[in-house]
Structure 1
Amino acid sequence: MGRTPEELQAARDRLVPDVAASGLRVLFCGINPGLMTASTGHHFARPGNRFWPVLHASGFTPRLLRPAEQEELLAHGLGITNVVARASAKASELTAEEYREGGRLLAEKVARLRPRWLAVAGVTAYRVAFDDKHAVIGPQRRTLGTTRVWALPNPSGLNAHWTLATMAEEYGRLRAAAWEDA
Protein backbone atom coordinates (compact mmCIF):
# COMPACT_ATOMS: atom_id res chain seq x y z
CA MET A 1 0.00 0.00 0.00
CA GLY A 2 3.04 2.25 -0.15
CA ARG A 3 2.49 5.55 -1.91
CA THR A 4 5.08 7.99 -3.18
CA PRO A 5 5.12 11.52 -1.78
CA GLU A 6 3.89 12.71 -5.19
CA GLU A 7 0.94 10.30 -5.12
CA LEU A 8 0.03 11.45 -1.62
CA GLN A 9 0.22 15.15 -2.55
CA ALA A 10 -1.94 14.48 -5.62
CA ALA A 11 -4.65 13.24 -3.24
CA ARG A 12 -4.86 16.60 -1.41
CA ASP A 13 -8.44 17.98 -1.39
CA ARG A 14 -9.78 14.74 -2.89
CA LEU A 15 -13.12 13.52 -1.59
CA VAL A 16 -13.58 9.98 -0.25
CA PRO A 17 -17.03 8.39 -0.52
CA ASP A 18 -18.80 7.47 2.69
CA VAL A 19 -19.43 3.88 3.66
CA ALA A 20 -23.02 4.37 4.74
CA ALA A 21 -26.61 3.22 4.47
CA SER A 22 -29.89 4.05 6.17
CA GLY A 23 -30.60 2.70 9.63
CA LEU A 24 -27.06 1.81 10.77
CA ARG A 25 -26.43 1.09 14.44
CA VAL A 26 -23.30 3.28 14.42
CA LEU A 27 -22.05 5.78 11.87
CA PHE A 28 -18.40 6.44 12.74
CA CYS A 29 -17.19 9.88 11.82
CA GLY A 30 -13.54 10.73 11.30
CA ILE A 31 -12.21 14.28 11.32
CA ASN A 32 -11.32 14.35 7.61
CA PRO A 33 -9.57 12.02 5.19
CA GLY A 34 -5.80 11.96 5.38
CA LEU A 35 -3.75 11.81 2.21
CA MET A 36 -3.30 8.01 2.41
CA THR A 37 -7.06 7.57 2.73
CA ALA A 38 -7.69 9.91 -0.20
CA SER A 39 -5.03 8.18 -2.28
CA THR A 40 -6.44 4.68 -1.66
CA GLY A 41 -10.12 5.56 -1.31
CA HIS A 42 -10.20 3.57 1.94
CA HIS A 43 -11.03 5.20 5.28
CA PHE A 44 -8.41 5.17 8.07
CA ALA A 45 -5.85 3.78 5.63
CA ARG A 46 -2.69 5.33 7.09
CA PRO A 47 -0.39 2.73 8.63
CA GLY A 48 -0.35 3.37 12.34
CA ASN A 49 -3.99 4.48 12.49
CA ARG A 50 -5.64 2.29 15.10
CA PHE A 51 -9.26 2.51 13.91
CA TRP A 52 -9.44 -0.99 12.41
CA PRO A 53 -7.61 -2.74 15.29
CA VAL A 54 -9.77 -0.88 17.83
CA LEU A 55 -12.99 -1.84 16.03
CA HIS A 56 -11.98 -5.48 16.28
CA ALA A 57 -10.62 -5.30 19.83
CA SER A 58 -13.83 -3.61 21.05
CA GLY A 59 -16.05 -6.30 19.51
CA PHE A 60 -17.55 -4.31 16.65
CA THR A 61 -16.10 -6.69 14.06
CA PRO A 62 -15.53 -10.45 14.40
CA ARG A 63 -12.07 -10.16 12.80
CA LEU A 64 -9.55 -7.46 12.03
CA LEU A 65 -10.64 -5.80 8.79
CA ARG A 66 -8.22 -4.08 6.45
CA PRO A 67 -9.11 -0.62 5.11
CA ALA A 68 -9.77 -2.17 1.68
CA GLU A 69 -12.51 -4.28 3.31
CA GLN A 70 -14.41 -1.22 4.59
CA GLU A 71 -17.64 -2.15 2.77
CA GLU A 72 -17.95 -5.19 5.06
CA LEU A 73 -18.83 -2.78 7.87
CA LEU A 74 -22.32 -2.36 6.41
CA ALA A 75 -23.10 -6.03 7.13
CA HIS A 76 -22.35 -5.30 10.80
CA GLY A 77 -24.64 -2.24 10.90
CA LEU A 78 -21.67 0.15 10.81
CA GLY A 79 -20.55 2.93 8.49
CA ILE A 80 -17.95 5.69 8.10
CA THR A 81 -18.12 9.35 7.18
CA ASN A 82 -16.12 12.48 8.07
CA VAL A 83 -16.77 15.87 9.65
CA VAL A 84 -14.88 17.60 6.83
CA ALA A 85 -14.93 15.93 3.42
CA ARG A 86 -11.71 17.27 1.89
CA ALA A 87 -8.44 15.44 2.34
CA SER A 88 -5.44 17.08 3.95
CA ALA A 89 -2.05 16.03 5.29
CA LYS A 90 -3.00 17.11 8.84
CA ALA A 91 -6.25 18.02 10.57
CA SER A 92 -4.54 21.27 11.65
CA GLU A 93 -4.88 22.45 8.03
CA LEU A 94 -8.65 22.70 8.49
CA THR A 95 -10.33 25.94 9.52
CA ALA A 96 -12.93 26.38 12.25
CA GLU A 97 -15.36 27.40 9.50
CA GLU A 98 -14.75 24.09 7.69
CA TYR A 99 -15.49 22.23 10.93
CA ARG A 100 -18.70 24.21 11.53
CA GLU A 101 -19.88 23.73 7.94
CA GLY A 102 -18.94 20.05 8.21
CA GLY A 103 -21.04 19.78 11.37
CA ARG A 104 -24.01 21.33 9.56
CA LEU A 105 -23.66 18.95 6.61
CA LEU A 106 -23.12 16.02 8.97
CA ALA A 107 -26.37 16.85 10.80
CA GLU A 108 -28.18 16.82 7.42
CA LYS A 109 -26.61 13.46 6.54
CA VAL A 110 -27.59 11.99 9.91
CA ALA A 111 -31.17 13.25 9.45
CA ARG A 112 -31.28 11.45 6.09
CA LEU A 113 -29.59 8.17 7.16
CA ARG A 114 -30.93 8.00 10.74
CA PRO A 115 -28.26 5.84 12.40
CA ARG A 116 -28.89 4.95 16.04
CA TRP A 117 -25.53 6.51 17.02
CA LEU A 118 -23.16 9.01 15.45
CA ALA A 119 -19.68 8.33 16.83
CA VAL A 120 -17.26 11.22 16.23
CA ALA A 121 -13.67 9.98 16.46
CA GLY A 122 -12.05 13.11 17.84
CA VAL A 123 -13.56 15.11 20.69
CA THR A 124 -11.85 18.34 19.59
CA ALA A 125 -13.38 18.06 16.11
CA TYR A 126 -16.76 17.39 17.73
CA ARG A 127 -16.43 20.46 19.98
CA VAL A 128 -15.74 22.78 17.05
CA ALA A 129 -18.18 21.22 14.56
CA PHE A 130 -21.08 21.33 17.01
CA ASP A 131 -20.05 24.37 19.08
CA ASP A 132 -19.88 22.34 22.29
CA LYS A 133 -16.75 23.63 24.03
CA HIS A 134 -17.20 21.43 27.11
CA ALA A 135 -17.79 18.05 25.42
CA VAL A 136 -15.81 15.13 26.81
CA ILE A 137 -15.25 11.59 25.57
CA GLY A 138 -18.41 9.53 25.90
CA PRO A 139 -22.13 9.90 25.19
CA GLN A 140 -23.29 13.47 24.60
CA ARG A 141 -26.50 15.17 25.71
CA ARG A 142 -27.01 16.45 22.17
CA THR A 143 -29.01 14.35 19.75
CA LEU A 144 -29.43 14.84 16.02
CA GLY A 145 -33.10 14.00 15.59
CA THR A 146 -33.40 10.51 17.05
CA THR A 147 -29.67 9.81 16.63
CA ARG A 148 -27.62 9.79 19.81
CA VAL A 149 -24.05 11.14 19.69
CA TRP A 150 -20.85 9.72 21.22
CA ALA A 151 -17.45 11.43 21.16
CA LEU A 152 -14.63 8.91 20.83
CA PRO A 153 -10.87 9.28 21.08
CA ASN A 154 -9.19 9.89 17.74
CA PRO A 155 -7.56 6.60 16.62
CA SER A 156 -4.63 8.36 14.96
CA GLY A 157 -1.26 7.03 15.98
CA LEU A 158 -0.43 10.64 16.90
CA ASN A 159 -2.95 10.42 19.77
CA ALA A 160 -0.53 8.61 22.08
CA HIS A 161 -2.50 9.59 25.21
CA TRP A 162 -4.92 6.77 24.33
CA THR A 163 -3.51 3.26 24.06
CA LEU A 164 -5.05 0.56 21.91
CA ALA A 165 -6.43 -1.03 25.10
CA THR A 166 -7.98 2.17 26.52
CA MET A 167 -9.46 3.08 23.13
CA ALA A 168 -10.91 -0.42 22.75
CA GLU A 169 -12.50 -0.03 26.18
CA GLU A 170 -14.17 3.26 25.20
CA TYR A 171 -15.28 1.95 21.79
CA GLY A 172 -16.59 -1.13 23.64
CA ARG A 173 -18.76 1.12 25.82
CA LEU A 174 -20.29 2.53 22.64
CA ARG A 175 -20.77 -0.97 21.21
CA ALA A 176 -22.61 -2.08 24.33
CA ALA A 177 -24.87 0.99 24.18
CA ALA A 178 -25.53 0.57 20.45
CA TRP A 179 -26.66 -3.02 20.88
CA GLU A 180 -28.46 -2.36 24.19
CA ASP A 181 -30.80 0.22 22.70
CA ALA A 182 -31.78 -1.97 19.74
Structure 2
Amino acid sequence: MPPSKGPSRSELLALEGSTLPDLGGPGAVVVFCGINPGLYTAWAQAHFARPGNRFWPTLHRSGFTARLLAPQEQHLLPRHGLGITNVVARATATAAELSPAELRAGGELLRDKVRTWQPAFLAVLGVTAYREAFGARRAVIGLQQEVLGRTRIWVLPNPSGLNAHYGLPALAALFAELRAAAGVGRPEA
Protein backbone atom coordinates (compact mmCIF):
# COMPACT_ATOMS: atom_id res chain seq x y z
CA MET A 1 0.00 0.00 0.00
CA PRO A 2 1.40 3.44 -0.89
CA PRO A 3 2.28 5.88 1.88
CA SER A 4 -0.46 8.31 2.95
CA LYS A 5 1.38 11.24 1.35
CA GLY A 6 0.63 11.44 -2.34
CA PRO A 7 3.25 11.07 -5.05
CA SER A 8 5.28 13.99 -6.39
CA ARG A 9 4.91 15.04 -10.01
CA SER A 10 8.32 13.55 -10.82
CA GLU A 11 7.36 10.25 -9.16
CA LEU A 12 4.21 10.09 -11.30
CA LEU A 13 6.00 10.98 -14.53
CA ALA A 14 8.55 8.24 -13.85
CA LEU A 15 5.67 5.72 -14.04
CA GLU A 16 4.81 6.57 -17.66
CA GLY A 17 4.54 3.28 -19.56
CA SER A 18 4.47 1.07 -16.47
CA THR A 19 1.80 -1.61 -16.10
CA LEU A 20 -0.51 -2.95 -13.45
CA PRO A 21 -1.35 -6.66 -13.09
CA ASP A 22 -4.83 -7.81 -14.03
CA LEU A 23 -7.12 -8.72 -11.19
CA GLY A 24 -9.04 -11.96 -11.40
CA GLY A 25 -9.08 -14.09 -14.48
CA PRO A 26 -10.58 -17.54 -15.01
CA GLY A 27 -13.61 -17.95 -12.76
CA ALA A 28 -14.68 -14.31 -12.92
CA VAL A 29 -18.35 -13.66 -13.65
CA VAL A 30 -17.81 -9.98 -14.52
CA VAL A 31 -14.49 -8.51 -15.65
CA PHE A 32 -14.44 -4.72 -15.60
CA CYS A 33 -12.20 -3.25 -18.27
CA GLY A 34 -10.79 0.25 -17.94
CA ILE A 35 -9.21 2.13 -20.82
CA ASN A 36 -5.69 2.11 -19.33
CA PRO A 37 -4.11 2.78 -15.94
CA GLY A 38 -3.42 6.36 -15.01
CA LEU A 39 -0.12 7.36 -13.45
CA TYR A 40 -1.64 7.64 -9.97
CA THR A 41 -3.10 4.14 -10.31
CA ALA A 42 0.33 2.83 -11.37
CA TRP A 43 1.86 4.54 -8.33
CA ALA A 44 -0.75 3.08 -5.96
CA GLN A 45 -0.63 -0.34 -7.67
CA ALA A 46 -4.40 -0.47 -7.31
CA HIS A 47 -6.96 -0.18 -10.11
CA PHE A 48 -9.06 3.01 -10.25
CA ALA A 49 -7.05 4.46 -7.34
CA ARG A 50 -7.00 8.13 -8.34
CA PRO A 51 -8.95 10.28 -5.89
CA GLY A 52 -12.10 11.39 -7.64
CA ASN A 53 -12.50 8.21 -9.67
CA ARG A 54 -16.00 6.92 -9.01
CA PHE A 55 -15.43 3.23 -9.78
CA TRP A 56 -15.37 2.02 -6.17
CA PRO A 57 -18.34 4.14 -4.98
CA THR A 58 -20.29 3.06 -8.08
CA LEU A 59 -19.49 -0.60 -7.47
CA HIS A 60 -20.92 -0.28 -3.97
CA ARG A 61 -23.96 1.86 -4.82
CA SER A 62 -24.91 -0.48 -7.67
CA GLY A 63 -24.92 -3.48 -5.34
CA PHE A 64 -21.78 -5.28 -6.52
CA THR A 65 -20.25 -4.91 -3.04
CA ALA A 66 -21.84 -4.84 0.40
CA ARG A 67 -19.66 -1.94 1.50
CA LEU A 68 -17.51 0.72 -0.11
CA LEU A 69 -14.12 -0.83 -0.80
CA ALA A 70 -10.91 1.18 -1.01
CA PRO A 71 -8.76 0.61 -4.09
CA GLN A 72 -6.20 -1.17 -1.89
CA GLU A 73 -8.90 -3.77 -1.11
CA GLN A 74 -9.18 -4.80 -4.75
CA HIS A 75 -7.88 -8.25 -3.79
CA LEU A 76 -11.35 -8.95 -2.31
CA LEU A 77 -13.10 -8.79 -5.70
CA PRO A 78 -12.07 -12.15 -7.26
CA ARG A 79 -13.60 -14.18 -4.47
CA HIS A 80 -16.92 -12.65 -5.50
CA GLY A 81 -16.53 -13.33 -9.20
CA LEU A 82 -15.24 -9.89 -10.18
CA GLY A 83 -12.07 -8.97 -12.04
CA ILE A 84 -10.37 -5.91 -13.54
CA THR A 85 -8.26 -5.45 -16.65
CA ASN A 86 -7.59 -2.67 -19.18
CA VAL A 87 -7.83 -2.26 -22.94
CA VAL A 88 -4.25 -0.94 -22.97
CA ALA A 89 -1.83 -2.04 -20.25
CA ARG A 90 0.57 0.93 -20.21
CA ALA A 91 0.04 3.80 -17.80
CA THR A 92 -0.31 7.34 -19.13
CA ALA A 93 -1.21 10.71 -17.67
CA THR A 94 -4.45 10.69 -19.68
CA ALA A 95 -6.21 8.19 -21.94
CA ALA A 96 -6.05 10.82 -24.70
CA GLU A 97 -2.37 9.87 -25.09
CA LEU A 98 -3.39 6.50 -26.57
CA SER A 99 -3.46 6.28 -30.34
CA PRO A 100 -6.33 4.65 -32.24
CA ALA A 101 -3.88 1.94 -33.37
CA GLU A 102 -2.88 1.26 -29.75
CA LEU A 103 -6.53 0.94 -28.72
CA ARG A 104 -7.23 -1.46 -31.60
CA ALA A 105 -4.18 -3.57 -30.71
CA GLY A 106 -5.32 -3.54 -27.08
CA GLY A 107 -8.75 -4.69 -28.20
CA GLU A 108 -7.20 -7.71 -29.94
CA LEU A 109 -5.21 -8.63 -26.82
CA LEU A 110 -8.34 -8.14 -24.71
CA ARG A 111 -10.34 -10.47 -26.96
CA ASP A 112 -7.69 -13.17 -26.50
CA LYS A 113 -7.64 -12.66 -22.73
CA VAL A 114 -11.44 -12.88 -22.50
CA ARG A 115 -11.54 -16.04 -24.61
CA THR A 116 -9.07 -17.60 -22.16
CA TRP A 117 -10.77 -16.37 -18.97
CA GLN A 118 -14.36 -16.88 -20.20
CA PRO A 119 -16.20 -14.59 -17.79
CA ALA A 120 -19.95 -14.32 -18.24
CA PHE A 121 -19.58 -10.56 -18.89
CA LEU A 122 -16.86 -8.16 -20.02
CA ALA A 123 -17.82 -4.67 -18.84
CA VAL A 124 -15.92 -2.09 -20.87
CA LEU A 125 -15.81 1.24 -19.04
CA GLY A 126 -15.97 3.88 -21.74
CA VAL A 127 -18.05 3.78 -24.91
CA THR A 128 -15.53 5.77 -26.97
CA ALA A 129 -12.69 3.39 -26.07
CA TYR A 130 -14.94 0.41 -26.82
CA ARG A 131 -15.86 1.82 -30.22
CA GLU A 132 -12.21 2.23 -31.15
CA ALA A 133 -10.86 -1.00 -29.63
CA PHE A 134 -13.62 -3.19 -31.06
CA GLY A 135 -14.34 -1.32 -34.30
CA ALA A 136 -17.94 -0.81 -33.20
CA ARG A 137 -18.52 2.76 -34.37
CA ARG A 138 -22.21 2.85 -33.42
CA ALA A 139 -22.00 1.16 -30.04
CA VAL A 140 -24.00 2.67 -27.20
CA ILE A 141 -24.08 2.08 -23.45
CA GLY A 142 -25.50 -1.32 -22.49
CA LEU A 143 -25.39 -4.91 -23.70
CA GLN A 144 -23.66 -5.33 -27.07
CA GLN A 145 -24.46 -7.77 -29.86
CA GLU A 146 -20.87 -9.02 -30.11
CA VAL A 147 -20.04 -12.08 -28.03
CA LEU A 148 -16.55 -13.43 -27.33
CA GLY A 149 -16.96 -17.18 -26.91
CA ARG A 150 -19.47 -17.39 -24.07
CA THR A 151 -18.72 -13.86 -22.84
CA ARG A 152 -21.30 -11.14 -23.34
CA ILE A 153 -20.03 -7.57 -23.65
CA TRP A 154 -21.61 -4.73 -21.69
CA VAL A 155 -20.47 -1.13 -22.18
CA LEU A 156 -20.69 1.26 -19.25
CA PRO A 157 -19.70 4.91 -18.89
CA ASN A 158 -16.17 5.65 -17.78
CA PRO A 159 -16.29 6.27 -13.99
CA SER A 160 -13.49 8.84 -14.13
CA GLY A 161 -14.26 12.04 -12.27
CA LEU A 162 -13.56 13.78 -15.59
CA ASN A 163 -16.67 12.22 -17.14
CA ALA A 164 -19.22 14.93 -16.39
CA HIS A 165 -21.95 13.29 -18.47
CA TYR A 166 -22.82 10.84 -15.69
CA GLY A 167 -23.20 11.60 -12.01
CA LEU A 168 -22.76 8.92 -9.36
CA PRO A 169 -26.50 8.04 -9.17
CA ALA A 170 -26.69 7.56 -12.96
CA LEU A 171 -23.49 5.49 -12.99
CA ALA A 172 -24.80 3.32 -10.15
CA ALA A 173 -28.10 2.72 -11.96
CA LEU A 174 -26.31 1.61 -15.14
CA PHE A 175 -23.88 -0.64 -13.22
CA ALA A 176 -26.87 -2.12 -11.35
CA GLU A 177 -28.40 -3.25 -14.66
CA LEU A 178 -25.26 -5.26 -15.36
CA ARG A 179 -25.20 -6.60 -11.78
CA ALA A 180 -28.78 -7.84 -12.13
CA ALA A 181 -28.04 -9.49 -15.50
CA ALA A 182 -24.92 -11.16 -14.09
CA GLY A 183 -26.71 -12.38 -10.96
CA VAL A 184 -23.97 -11.24 -8.57
CA GLY A 185 -23.89 -8.69 -5.85
CA ARG A 186 -23.63 -7.57 -2.28
CA PRO A 187 -20.96 -10.07 -1.23
CA GLU A 188 -19.65 -9.92 2.31
CA ALA A 189 -16.50 -7.94 1.48
CA RMSD across the alignment? 0.9
1:69 corresponds to which residue?
A: 73
Within 2, Cα distance between the matches of 1:126 and 1:78? 20
Amino acid at match of 1:85: A
Q: Does 1:111 align with 2:115?
A: yes
Q: Match for 1:23 among 5, 21, 27?
A: 27
Amino acid at match of 2:55: F
Q: Does 1:14 align with 2:18?
A: yes
Q: Does 1:128 align with 2:102?
A: no
Counterpart mapping for 1:159-174 below 5 A = 159-174=163-178
Give deviations 1:93-113, integer Å, cap 9, x for gaps.
000011000000000000110
Q: Percent identity?
A: 58
Deviation at 1:132, TM superposition (A): 0.2
Aligned residues: 180
Which 4+ stretches in 1 moved above 6 angstroms?
none
Deviation at 1:23, TM superposition (A): 2.2
Please, what TM-score do these two structures have when normalized by structure 1? 0.97
Within 1, Cα distance between the matches of 2:108 and 2:45? 24
Give deviations 1:58-111, integer Å, cap 9, x for gaps.
000111011111110011110000000000000000000110000000000001
CA contact (8 A) 1:49 1:157 kept: yes
Q: Which ranges of structure 2 fall in alignment gaps of 5 or more residues?
A: 185-189
Counterpart mapping for 1:82-161 below 5 A = 82-161=86-165
- Secondary structure of 2:164's counterpart equals coil
Please, what TM-score do these two structures have when normalized by structure 2? 0.94
